[in-house]
C-alpha cells in the first residue's frame, strides 16, 4: 500500500470551532462600530489572526495604532479562548474520527496544516494529538493561506511529494493554497463557496472508505 500524506485543516474541518472564531470576530467588529456579515466571515476562514483584523478594519474604513491593534487581537483571542475552554471530544465533527482511524490503520501519514496558533491545545482537548505524524500551525509559518507554505511544510516533514498530498479544507484561502502547492484539494462544506476544490463534500460522512482507498491507490 502506498503511503500518502493526508493534511487536515483544523477549524471547521476537524472541530466545529469556525463558529467560535466568527462569534469572537463579530463581537470585536461590533465593538469597533463595524458591521460584520456571514459573507464577510467566509473571507476570514483560514486567514491568520493579524490579517483577519486588517480585513475587518479595512471593511469598516478604520485604522488603529500598533498598540491598539495588538490590544484588539488579544481581546479577540481571549474571547475565543473562553469559547473553547470547555471543549471536549463531542466537538469533533461527524466521522472525523472514522476517517482518521481508517487512514491510521492503512499506514497513511496524518498531518495538520492550520493557520491557528491555538491548534495544539485544541487537538489535546479533543484527544487526537497522538494520531498526527506532523503538526504545522500558525506558530510555524510566516506566510498565511492562500500561500501554500503551511501545506508544503507538512509535506516536507513527512518527506512526501506534493502530488502525494491530499488536503482537507473548509476555506477558500485553504483550497487555493492546496491548489497552489500542487496537492489534491478536498473542500469540506458548501461546494458553491469551495468550487475551486478538486472534490467537494458537505462533511466527512459523505467520504467513504472506498473513496479514501482510491485516493491512496491513485498514482
Q: Copy the grid coordinates of residue 213.
A: 482507498
**Cβ distance to ligand BG6 smaller for residue 23 or 104:** 23
Closest CB 8 distance from ligand BG6, rounded Å? 11
- Contacts with ligand BG6 by CB under 6 A lie at 10-11, 21, 44-49, 52, 77, 114-118, 138, 171
Q: Which residues bind Mg ion (CB under 5 A)?
A: 9, 11-12, 170-171
- List residues bridging with 169 in a β-sheet: 187
Which residue is listed with cell 461527524?
A: 94
Nearer Cβ to ligand BG6, position 81 or 209?
Answer: 81
Residue 118 partner contact from Mg ion, ligand BG6, none using kind-dependent CB cut-offs of 5 to 8 Å = ligand BG6
Report the nearest approach of ligand BG6 to the CB of residue 67 (Å): 19
71 is catalytic: no
| 44 binds, options ligand BG6, Mg ion, none, Cβ within 5 to 8 A by partner type | ligand BG6
- Which grid coordinates belong to 142? 510566516
Q: How far is the CB of 74 from ligand BG6 (least distance, A)?
A: 11
Question: Which H, E and C letters describe the chain, residue by residue?
Answer: CCCCEEEECCECCCECCHHHHHHHHHHHHHHCCCCCCHHHHHCCCCCCHHHHHHHHHHHCCCCCCHHHHHHHHHHHHHHHHHHHCCCCHHHECCCHHHHHHHHHHCCCEEEEECCCCCHHHHHHHCCCHHHCCEEECCCCCCCCCCCCHHHHHHHHHCCCCHHHEEEEECCHHHHHHHHHHCCEEEEECCCCCCCCCCEEECCHHHCCHHHHHHHHHCC
Q: Is 9 a catalytic residue?
A: yes
**In the complex with ligand BG6, which residue's Cβ is closer, 24 or 216?**
24
Q: CB-based contacts of 78: which residues, under 8 Å, 6+ apart?
A: none
Closer of 64 and 97 to Mg ion (Cβ): 97
Peptide bond preceding 39 in cis form (omega within 30 of 0):
no
Nearer to ligand BG6, 3 or 117 (CB): 117
Instruction: Pick one of Mg ion, ligand BG6, none as the site partner of residue 41 (Cβ within 5 to 8 A by kind).
Output: none
Closest approach of Mg ion to the CB of residue 150, in Å: 11
CB of 218 to ligand BG6, least distance (A): 27
**Residue 77's binding partner out of Mg ion, ligand BG6, none, with CB under 5 to 8 Å set by partner kind:** ligand BG6
- The residues carrying an active-site annotation are 9, 11
Amino acid at each position: 500500500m502506498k503511503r500518502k500524506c493526508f493534511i487536515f485543516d483544523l477549524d471547521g474541518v476537524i472541530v466545529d470551532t469556525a463558529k467560535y472564531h466568527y462569534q469572537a470576530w463579530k463581537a470585536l467588529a461590533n465593538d469597533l462600530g463595524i458591521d460584520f456579515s456571514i459573507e464577510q466571515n467566509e473571507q476570514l476562514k483560514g486567514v491568520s489572526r493579524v490579517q483577519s483584523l486588517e480585513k475587518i478594519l479595512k471593511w469598516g474604513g478604520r485604522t488603529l495604532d500598533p498598540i491598539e491593534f495588538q490590544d484588539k487581537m488579544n481581546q479577540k483571542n481571549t474571547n475565543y479562548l473562553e469559547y473553547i475552554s470547555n471543549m471536549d471530544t463531542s466537538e469533533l465533527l461527524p466521522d472525523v474520527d472514522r476517517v482518521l482511524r481508517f487512514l491510521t490503520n492503512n499506514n497513511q501519514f496524518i498531518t495538520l496544516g492550520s493557520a491557528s496558533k491555538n491548534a495544539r491545545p485544541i487537538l489535546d482537548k479533543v484527544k487526537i494529538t497522538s494520531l498526527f505524524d506532523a503538526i504545522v500551525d500558525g506558530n510555524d509559518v510566516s506566510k498565511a493561506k492562500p500561500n501554500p507554505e503551511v501545506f508544503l511544510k507538512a509535506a516536507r516533514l513527512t518527506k512526501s511529494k506534493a502530488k502525494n498530498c491530499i488536503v482537507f479544507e473548509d476555506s477558500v484561502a485553504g483550497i487555493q493554497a492546496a491548489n497552489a502547492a500542487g496537492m489534491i484539494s478536498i473542500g469540506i462544506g458548501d461546494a458553491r463557496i469551495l468550487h475551486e476544490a478538486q472534490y467537494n463534500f458537505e462533511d466527512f460522512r459523505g467520504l467513504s472508505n472506498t473513496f479514501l482507498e482510491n485516493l491512496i491507490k491513485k498514482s
